[in-house]
């Protein structure tokens, strides 16, 4: 079983991640991780922070001579932009964790909330997800993503134009991205209890990403508009295996993988920090004020898709190891190939 813990603030010294449970003897380098960190920083519509940070990871433990050794893997990503960390904030930002967090943790300084609630935290989760992807890749399991829609527009040729329009208006855009996972074995997850259902775990993982407000599995909300005969995937037996010729279930039935590709979609709300700030309140004085602005993206859906890959990879790696078992990559491979006979 995998365990994950992260620490760090948006403008603090660094972000830290600890991943426990990765098997021994898996070849792993910092470059394996840095590739996805670079992808997370890309995408049209990103703001000034991406010009400052060039995220690279340092592996602090759990690796020796280029391979995992079975002990916890500790990762660190340094922050270059630390100049705001000691500056207090009192003007609340609509759409952020500011108000609820300040009331919950009894603070007048919104900086205490925004530093940890920031999507900057996802950089370390992408790093951890890259390790999980490397494990899954040993079994030809591939996780990919694509942007489906931005600001209600599904024509990719128009994405740049609508982002430019939003930027000119000092506004922001959200959208929808899709995660696809192929070559998963049948039976990851379980139907026997609510907290073992893999679709529930994957939905929670995606919803844990800042600004995600909805998740679809397969047809998702579209199922509600159709007849059962139009939704459920008929089952066939051909060439020695069971299969479906459609995949409306998105690869998950009864909380378990069914052998078809997993298809997940996530809806991201528009970035909550606006260059032209919304009306709000100063938390200390209780007087009307414009929301606080530091830096802002116009659109980060492409980056969110990379984060989506990472959180899905973590959950799938956890479920995979739970089912297949083993303490070294060699033992897991033996168990896996035996189970596929």
What pLDDT is recorded for position 62?
98
Distances (CA, A) of 265 to 159, 179, 219: 18, 6, 9
What pTM does this model have? 0.95
Q: DSSP for 93-125, please give it.
A: -TTSSHHHHHHHHT-S-THHHHHHHSGGGHHHH
Asked if the model's pLDDT at residue 125 lies above 90, the reply is: yes
Q: What whole-number percentage of the chain has pLDDT above 90?
A: 93
So where are the chain's domains? 87-339
Q: Which CATH superfamily is domain 87-339 in?
A: Chorismate synthase AroC (3.60.150.10)
Q: What is the mean pLDDT of residues 126-153?
A: 98
Q: What is the mean pLDDT of residues 132-144?
A: 98
Asked if the model's pLDDT at residue 53 lies above 90, the reply is: no
Asked if the model's pLDDT at residue 52 lies above 70, the reply is: no
Query: Chain-wide mean pLDDT for the chain?
Result: 96
Nearest-angstrom CA–CA distance, 269 and 273: 11
């Amino acid at each position: 079983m995998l365990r994950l813990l992260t620490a760090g603030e948006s403008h603090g010294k660094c972000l830290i991640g600890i991943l426990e449970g990765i098997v021994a003897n898996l070849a792993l380098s910092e470059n394996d991780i840095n590739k996805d960190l670079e992808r997370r920083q890309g995408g049209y519509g990103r703001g000034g922070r991406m010009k400052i940070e060039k995220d690279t990871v340092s592996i602090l433990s759990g690796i020796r001579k280029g391979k995992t050794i079975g002990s916890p893997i500790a990762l660190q990503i340094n922050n270059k932009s630390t100049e705001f960390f000691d500056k207090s904030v009192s003007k609340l930002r609509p759409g952020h964790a500011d108000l609820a967090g300040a009331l919950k943790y009894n603070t007048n300084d919104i900086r205490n909330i925004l530093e940890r609630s920031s999507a900057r935290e996802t950089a370390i989760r992408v790093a951890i997800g890259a390790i999980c992807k490397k494990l899954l890749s040993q079994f030809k399991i591939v996780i990919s993503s694509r942007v489906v829609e931005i600001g209600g527009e599904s024509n990719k040729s128009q994405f740049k134009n609508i982002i430019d329009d939003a930027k000119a208006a000092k506004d922001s855009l959200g959208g929808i991205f899709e995660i696809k996972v192929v070559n998963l074995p049948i039976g990851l997850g379980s139907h026997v209890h609510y907290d073992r259902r893999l679709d529930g775990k994957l939905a929670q993982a995606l919803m844990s990403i800042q600004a995600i407000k909805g998740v679809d599995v397969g047809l998702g909300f579209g199922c509600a508009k159709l007849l059962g005969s139009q939704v459920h995937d008929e089952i066939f037996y051909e060439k020695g295996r069971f299969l479906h010729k459609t995949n409306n279930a998105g690869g998950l039935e009864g909380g378990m993988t069914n052998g078809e590709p997993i298809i997940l979609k996530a809806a991201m709300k528009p970035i909550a920090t606006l260059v032209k700030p919304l009306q709000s309140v100063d938390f200390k004085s209780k007087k009307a004020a414009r929301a606080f602005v530091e830096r802002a993206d116009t659109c980060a859906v492409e980056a969110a898709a990379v984060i989506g890959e990472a959180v899905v990879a973590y959950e799938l790696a956890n479920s995979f190891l739970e089912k297949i078992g083993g303490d070294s990559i060699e033992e897991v491979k033996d168990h896996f190939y035996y189970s596929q006979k």
